[in-house]
Homo-oligomer: A and B are copies of this chain.
């Protein structure tokens, strides 16, 4: 049983949002129409709106990516459960300034259904809406079936590009096109060493042997592709780089990389992995243009990490380098 510092299993999301909005009410506000829709207090006039969201339990995702140069609004689901269409619709309506809204979400059946329904309702209401589904996890479906893949930590890069592009004053079609390129050029893979639990039950949602790890496990404990003996950081780094580079041709490119901690894995370990991954990339003549190391999309107290790579052309370099500021991050 995992121990959690909470008040009641049914109240965790409302209590968390109360704390976040109490502390960051200068930059975030709850929408009156739906308390699970949170938007920026100040919008850049005329900009295309960007709305993100998904289940909770991945903090700082997703609310931590609402801010200047990133998303304008978020729909907050329960733990590991998609938000309903209503907070998505509410956030979309609130951030639409007449130039349309891009909805970005990870490829999960609940999110697909609810975001698409919200998009339909918003369109019926006269809003121009486009949807972009992130599918960066190479472990979740084979090459050629990329549209079946889950969205994991690569979502961070996709949000960053969408937010930066929208801020240039681009149209909804232009923001969509650049963000879709970022999505297409992004690949991730994760490993898990220890499971996470749901606050509702406290019980681990999967189990891994005391000397094992699993490659390709999803952020909700979805099964991976290989279970094996715990390897060294260097071996893990090589495995993850190989898995990504066998799926997409990054050799000789400029890339952005993200070494993401899933919860209980320390910054000490993540920087060791970063160093080993940078070695592996150098051997492939892949140049790291920009890197990110830390907890960006977590799975409660899960132990493990993921590696994300995004190929960069000049446009995507400018987008990834553009300033972005939320209550969690200064990009």
Contacts and interface: CB of A to CB of B under 8 A. Distances in A.
Interface of A: 1-8, 12, 15-16, 18-20, 22-23, 56-57, 59-60, 64, 193-194, 210-211, 213, 230, 232-234, 236, 263-276, 278, 291, 293-295, 298, 300-301, 303, 305, 328, 330
Nearest to A237: B5
Q: Is the interface of A mostly helix, strand, loop or mixed?
A: mixed
13 contacts: A3-B194, A3-B303, A5-B265, A16-B268, A20-B271, A23-B271, A59-B268, A263-B264, A265-B301, A266-B300, A267-B295, A267-B298, A294-B328
A268 B301 CA distance: 11
Contact of A291 (B6, B23, B60, B233): B23
Number of copies: 2
B330 A7 contact: no
Contacts of A12: 268, 272
A301 B4 CA distance: 14
Contacts of A271: 15-16, 19-20, 23, 59
A234 B272 CA distance: 37
Contacts of A210: 1
Given A264-B263, A266-B59, A330-B330, A275 B6 contact: no
Contacts of A211: 1, 3
Given A6-B272, A272-B6, A15 B233 contact: yes
A272 B19 CA distance: 6
A87 B270 CA distance: 24
Nearest to A3: B193
A168 B266 CA distance: 34
B293 A23 contact: yes
Contacts of A233: 5-7, 15
Given A56-B268, A236-B5, A268-B56, A273 B19 contact: yes
A196 to B, nearest CB: 9
A298 to B, nearest CB: 7
Contacts of A1: 210-211
A331 B211 CA distance: 40
Nearest to A235: B7
A66 to B, nearest CB: 14
Nearest to A23: B291
A211 B4 CA distance: 10
Nearest to A193: B3
Contacts of A16: 268, 271-272
A36 to B, nearest CB: 15
A199 to B, nearest CB: 8
